[in-house]
Structure 1
Amino acid sequence: MAEAVVDLDAVAHNTRLLAGLAAPRAETMAVVKADAFGHGVLPVARTVLAAGATWLGVTSIAEARRLRDAGITAPVLAWLYGTGDDFAWAVRHDVDLSVSTPQHLEAMAPGAAVHLKVDTGLTRNGVAWSDWPSLVARAADLERRGALMVRGIWSHLAAADDPGNPSVALQLERFSDALAIAAKAGLEPPLRHLANSAGIVDVPASHYDMVRAGLALYGVEPIEGVVAGLRRAMTLRARAVNVKRVPPGTGVSYLHQYVTDRDTTMVLVPAGYADGVPRQLSNRGAVAIGDRRCPIAGRVAMDQFVVDAGDLSVALGDEIVLFGPGDGAEPTVEEWAAWAGTNPHEILTGIGARVPRTYTSVR
């Protein structure tokens, strides 16, 4: 019914652009968590590695397992789990693991390659600042005894997408202090990484030895008003499954929260909130039919929603573009996010499993 078309050439372009911003100083980690932000992890992972990324980043060990089961051997870092996960599997399959608490450090399987994550001000995951000196001392001791290897030290920026936000400078300073404390304990690992997508584009001081490209890989500019030259990779489209001409005063969808004020054409789109179309787009969002942008009429339902096409000539089977690259009349994912009161990440990762992904590439 609905279909998400992923332009792998756009993903490759974005990877090369971001890796170029980081080079020659830093490697590029492509973050492919959450099924590559809804784009499909295996096609995307293969594309970004061919385009210049040297690492892959995932949230969980289960996500790392999917990559390894598919035969992808590139370096992988996983970073969010409890202390009882299968760290031994990660060691056997050369998956690096993040350490964000003293308890995680003690739970690591023998031979683990770890990246110590310090909380520099996001106040989310990461070793608490008060625990950092003792944790790096303990990690250094474990490394000296051959129990594990410290391959990296890292953190995450809270507001790099807000140019001039004072927290960025404070986090840079705190990260530098964290590295100095680790060095004093005898830890100077080869990979220090702090930059997210916005940091890659606008905070070169955050690049260090590796950058982590997330949303920008998929073509969304990470900083509003700053055009880096990224290309949006996903187009969400469907085809009309019902078309009807209705008179003025016709109520549309649940509770008739949309009532027509003229003779108009109503088009039914076979996608709903079970597919990732936010209910918040009810009476607020829009789609494109041909070269015309048409508003969503009434409430978005689980499997479908209605579009007011006015006097536009529409037939069963005509293509409707829900969002896309923005080259024509179609809305962009950023516009959908604004209408829904969220961010593009939630829109992209919310495209449901029953929406098939198809892939295009001229290579």
Structure 2
Amino acid sequence: MIYCVTHLALIIDAQLIGDPDRKIQHIFYDSRNIVSPADGAFIAFIGIRDGHKYMEDAYKKSVRIFIGSHIPVIHSDATYLIVDDPVSALQKWACYHINSYPSLTTIGITGSNGKTILKEWLNQCLWDVFSIIKSPKSFNSQMGLPLSVLQIESKHDLGIFEVGISKPGEMDKQERVLHPTIGVLTNVLGAHSEYFKDKEEQIVEKIKLFKNSQVIIYPTDPNISKIIQLEYPNKKLISFGKENSDIQLLETTLNGNTTVLSVSVFGEPREFIFPFTDDASIQNVLCLLAVLSELGYNYDFIQEKILHLQFVSMRLELVSGINNCTIINDTFNSDYQSLEIALHFLFQQNKPKKVLVLSDILQSRLAEAELYKKIADLVNSFPLHHILLVGEKTYKYRHLFNNILKSFLSTVEVIRFLESRSIKDAALLIKGARKFELEKVTQLLEVQSHDTILEVNLHSLLMNVNYFKSLLKPETKIIAMVKASSYGLGNFEIAEVLQFYHIDYLAVAYPDEGFKLRDKGIHLPIMVMNPEISSYDRVIEYELEPEIYSFRELNLFVHKLKEKKLTKYPIHIKIDTGMHRLGFQPEEAQKLGDLLKNNVYVKVKSIFSHFAVSDVSEQEEFTRLQASKLKYSFDILAKILGYQPLLHIANSAGIINYPEYHFDAVRLGIGMYGYIDNEKTLKKLKNVITLKTVISNIHDLEPGETVGYGRQFVAKKTTSVATLPIGYADGIRRIVGNGKGYVTIHGKKAPIIGNICMDMMMIDVTNIACKEGDTVIIMGENPSLIEYAEWYQTIPYEVLTSISSRVKRIYYRE
């Protein structure tokens, strides 16, 4: 993609300021991800954050072309394209671009879910037949789709794009960008339905994508079939499903880790061996069969491709490594686009060294020399400390790469090398094709290897932050609560991602928590809610900001500052408005103000209190009394001080229930992690954690035999029992045993039987097709954090913070 800014200005109806002859080859929309700025343009999108605020950051990183609705600061050596709406401008640009390639066949995939899986499976089946351009990861939004389309080049002969919407009216814009040759609807399940009155309206909106499609492929849901047939009676329609379908599933037979699918393909019976067993994958493969059949491929070709389909990971996993390293595991995909995304994620990590372990790229039809020149140019554009290459092709073209530490022909050689050489204080990206088994490198370098893991979805966490941010005024700051290891999710990993995404403040309970964050490179302001007097020296050394809640504490802290000859040190004043834990009384505000007025040693950064019952509607009067007491104290203190510190009291529940008390800042805690005691809001939050393990052993009990300590479970019939390597030492209380709680395997509930042991628990899998090594969901979407809190007779906070530190944490981005 190369565009002259003069030409682009005409395409997107922009006012041009600056050099009209500059060329654009790359698009940036996040100033944090700018690594190679040459010939790049920064687009200032306006969403929860206003991208215009980050134009200056992009300029400092040497970007010199900007697209936006206004210019905060004009630089004489920069070029500006001013438009009414940057998103609409991007869509116009993408529409023009795709129309420049009229011979390109495009597949547009929309639906509630399954879009990314189908896209990646199509790529796995067809990468050696076509030169494919596809959406990176799940880029399918109003911005994501046009950004994907703008990657089209003359060499491409097939485009596979995901198309998503969240509101009525959006699909018309998406259709103008893509107008796919083949339209695919995976399903409509009611997901993302907040802005639609019912499922029918969702269907009508989604199928607007197919206005100009020659073929439409869709599931045989009665509602979907009826609407599509009425709307597009003259188009070629292909249905897939279990009844009355062109691609009709007749029968499934499980055979170990595979499924034998008996399918009628346009009335002709066929059998396919499919390497997955779950219902969602079977639904997706029927859709895949429909697309491949429409493209004209015969049975032998389709069977060969389906037999070798691979699991599609839509995430980058991040785990703690040995020698103070961070490991990013992306051993799931092997293509240029995913490499670029992974490299950007690598450079988000707060480590002094960045290391890449890269295998051969398998999924590409480019000529070998051209492919590896392109890969090397991409890799070399990032300031990597070391590169380790794995495979015959990367070995052959190793001379193209900068900063090569070593090149290997096999993964075994890499492991031997790493066993003999210590890499410290680095972020390592392990990236490659499945055949190289680079996950063994990850296993070598990670700190913990327990089969029981707590997965933390960083994408969901950030979506929750953005949701709460959308409820605030732009100037209202967010203080993120990361105390108690971010509510049990991780010591510094959560703080690190929040820092990268420009959160305003962090808050911890005790100084030690702040020390650890500083040692890990967290430089954001950190508020300490309960600063221990014995830690004042280190609080100051680590530049932490203490909560001051009593005259004694204030005097001692000021005395310490005098010793160190420090002035204007930031502190936070706590007012006790009804929680009655810590804080100055409102009636002490005058006395406190008089002490602070001429005190040169401290500077009050904020004055705050803590809601006690902001989540209890029956206690509204008390909550409002607390807010009024705080405001009373604040007004007195601010008047005496002669300046306006930040004022804050709202916690997660307070943000939702009392918007009038957002004040200057809010403290976001449990809501960020996916829970709030508000049913309407809870539906808008994303699940952040999944606690999972694997089946260690399966054995049968005969009637009368018992399970576990105390012999609390007695088999009444032949019962299949699975043992899991997780127990009360991992944070699962004994109270959920003996049938009170359950886990899920392949989406099916398995009751917990017998007493839970310290390190193990047993479940009844009599009616579930499973085997040793299969994944078991202990807690996440189902059963949920709320269900566990009910089983424990406690609150979700306690459930989260009770998960043991011996459970390995894995962090991932979608």
Q: So what's the TM-score if we normalise by structure 2?
A: 0.42
For 1:249 and 1:171, the matched residues in 2 are separated by 60
1:163 to 2:617 alignment: yes
**Does 151-160 or 216-225 show the bigger shift?**
216-225
Give the Cα separation in 2 of the matches to 1:355 and 1:361: 20
Please tell me whether the aligned partners of residues 26 and 210 of structure 1 are also in contact (alpha carbons under 8 angstroms). Answer: yes
Name the residue aligned to 1:316.
Answer: 772
Instruction: Please give the secondary structure, in 2, of the residue aligned with 1:159.
Output: coil
Deviation of the 1:321 alpha carbon: 0.3
What residue is the counterpart of 2:538 in the other structure?
A: 89
Taking the aligned partners of 1:301 and 1:176, their CA distance within structure 2 comes to 51
What is the CA-CA distance between 1:292 and the residue it aligns to?
0.7
Contact 2:464 2:686 in 1 (8 A): yes
Q: Give, as a single letter, the amino acid of the residue that structure 2 aligns with 1:67.
A: L
Q: Distance in 2 between matches of 1:316 and 1:285?
A: 21
- C-alpha distance in structure 2 between counterparts of 1:210 and 1:279, whole Å: 40
In structure 2, the partner of 1:102 is: 551
Contact residue 281 and residue 339 of structure 1 kept, 8 A: yes
Is 1:344 aligned to residue 793 of structure 2?
Answer: no
Distance in 2 separating the partners of 1:196 and 1:271: 33
Deviations 1:127-167, CA, capped at 9 Å, x for gaps: 24454442333233xxx231211111011101111234222
Mapped partners of 2:583, 2:737: distance in 1: 39
2:586·2:632 contact (CA, 8 Å) conserved in 1?
A: no
Kindly tell me: are residues 222 and 22 of structure 1, through their superposed partners in 2, closer, same or farther at Cα, counting changes over 3 Å? Answer: farther
- When residues 155 and 263 of structure 1 are mapped into structure 2, their CA distance, relative to the original with a 3 A threshold, is same
Q: Is the 8 A contact 1:274 1:352 kept in 2?
A: yes
* Paired AA for residue 355 in structure 1: V
Does 2:652 align with 1:205?
no
Classify 1:56/1:71 alpha carbon distance in 2 versus 1 (closer, same or farther; 3 Å): same
- Aligned partner of 1:45 in structure 2 is 495
TM-score calculated relative to the size of structure 1: 0.92
Residue type at the aligned position of 2:578: G
Match in the other structure for 1:118? 575
Note if contact 2:615-2:653 (Cα within 8 Å) is conserved in structure 1: yes
Amino acid at match of 1:278: R
* Cα displacement string for residues 213-266 of structure 1 (whole angstroms, at most 9, x for unaligned residues): 101111112434543611111100000111111123332222122223322211
Number of matched residues? 354
2: distance between equivalents of 1:303 and 1:155? 41
Q: Any conservation in 1 of the 2:531–2:547 contact (CA below 8 Å)?
A: no
Aligned to 2:455, the other structure's residue is in SS state strand
Residue 143 of structure 2 corresponds to none
- Alignment partners' CA distance in 1, 2:463 and 2:595: 42
Q: Distance in 2 between matches of 1:54 and 1:13?
A: 16
Which one has the largest radius of gyration? 2
Per the alignment, in what secondary structure is the counterpart of residue 268 of structure 1?
strand
2:678 maps to 1:223:
yes
Cα contact 1:100–1:125 (8 A) shared by 2? yes
- How far the C-alpha of 1:184 sits from its partner, in A, is 4.5
Contact 1:193 1:208 (8 Å CA) reproduced? yes
Does structure 1 residue 294 correspond to structure 2 residue 750? Answer: yes
Provide closer, same or farther for how the CA distance between residues 176 and 191 of structure 1 changes in structure 2, counting only shifts above 3 A: same
Q: 1:241 matched to which residue of 2?
A: 696
**Given that residues 15 and 52 in structure 1 are in contact (C-alpha distance below 8 angstroms), is that contact kept between their aligned partners in structure 2?**
no
1:180 and 2:635 correspond: yes
* Counterpart-to-counterpart distance in 1, 2:504 and 2:516: 18
Q: 1:193 to 1:32 in 2, by over 3 A?
A: same
Find the aligned partners of 2:547 and 2:643 in 1 and give their Cα distance: 16
Q: Distance in 1 between matches of 2:801 and 2:601?
A: 37
1:74 paired residue number: 524
CA contact 1:59–1:79 (8 Å) conserved in 2: yes
Residue 676 of structure 2 aligns to a residue whose secondary structure is coil
Letter paired with 1:139: L
CA shift for structure 1 position 95: 1.6
* Secondary structure at the counterpart of residue 310 of structure 1: coil
Identity rate of aligned residues, in percent?
29
Moved more, 47-56 or 67-76: 47-56
Given that residues 58 and 76 in structure 1 are in contact (C-alpha distance below 8 angstroms), is that contact kept between their aligned partners in structure 2? yes
Alpha-carbon separation, structure 1, partners of 2:745 and 2:487 = 26
Matched residues in 2 for 1:5 and 1:151: separation? Answer: 36
CA contact (8 A) 1:28 1:211 kept: yes
State the secondary structure of the residue aligned to 1:24: coil
Q: 1:339: Cα distance to partner?
A: 0.6
Structure 2 CA distance for partners of 1:169 and 1:145, relative to 1, 3 Å:
closer
CA distances 1:298-357 after superposition (whole Å, capped 9, x unpaired) = 211111111112322221111110011x2xxx2011111111111111111111111110
Q: Hey, what does 1:64 align to over in structure 2?
A: 514
Separation (CA, whole Å) in 1 of partners of 2:661 and 2:730: 37
SS at match of 1:48: helix
Unaligned 5+ runs, structure 2: 1-450, 562-566
What is the rounded CA distance, in whole Å, between the counterparts of 2:799 and 2:642 in structure 1? 40
The one-letter amino acid of 2:547's match is S
- Cα distance in 1, alignment partners of residues 589 and 686 from structure 2: 39
The change in CA–CA distance for 1:103 and 1:156 in structure 2 (over 3 A counts) is: same
The answer as to 2:812 corresponding to 1:356 is no
Q: Shift of residue 188 of structure 1?
A: 4.3
Q: Distance in 2 between matches of 1:22 and 1:278?
A: 38
Asked which structure has the greater RCO (Cα within 8 Å, sep 6+), the reply is 1
What does 1:8-19 correspond to in 2, within 5 Å?
8-19=458-469
CA contact (8 A) 2:586 2:630 kept: no
Change (3 A) 1:164 1:213: same
The secondary structure found in structure 2 opposite 1:360 is: strand
SS in 2 for 1:72: coil
Q: SS at 2:533's partner residue?
A: coil
Deviations 1:78-100 (CA, angstroms, capped at 9, x unpaired): 11133222x23323433211011
How far residue 274 of structure 1 moved from its aligned partner, in angstroms, is: 0.9
Runs of 4+ aligned structure 1 residues displaced above 6 Å come to none
Secondary structure at the aligned position of 1:185 is classed as: helix
Paired residues of 2:548 and 2:574 also in contact (CA < 8 A): yes
1-structure distance, mates of 2:501, 2:760: 37
The change in CA–CA distance for 1:291 and 1:145 in structure 2 (over 3 A counts) is closer
Using the TM superposition, give the Cα deviation of residue 52 of structure 1 relative to its aligned residue in structure 2, in angstroms. 4.2
Matched residues in 2 for 1:227 and 1:233: separation?
12
- 2:638, 2:645 within 8 Å by CA — same for their partners in 1? no
Q: For 1:29-73, what per-residue CA distance to the aligned partner results, in whole angstroms no more than 9, with x for missing partners? A: 111111111111322112223334211111111111111111111
TM-aligned CA deviation for residue 196 of structure 1: 0.5
Cα separation, partners in 2 of 1:179 and 1:67, compared to 1, 3 Å: same
Q: Which residue of 1 aligns with 2:457?
A: 7
| 2:509 partner letter | T
Show the counterpart of 2:215: none
The CA RMSD over aligned residues, in Å, is: 1.8
Q: State the AA in 1 paired with 2:641.
A: G
**Residue type of the alignment partner of 1:71:** G
Amino acid in structure 1 at the alignment position of 2:552:
Q
CA distance in 2 between counterparts of 1:92 and 1:23 reads 34
Conservation of the 8 A alpha-carbon contact between 2:721 and 2:765: yes
Contact 1:28/1:52 (<8 A) preserved: no
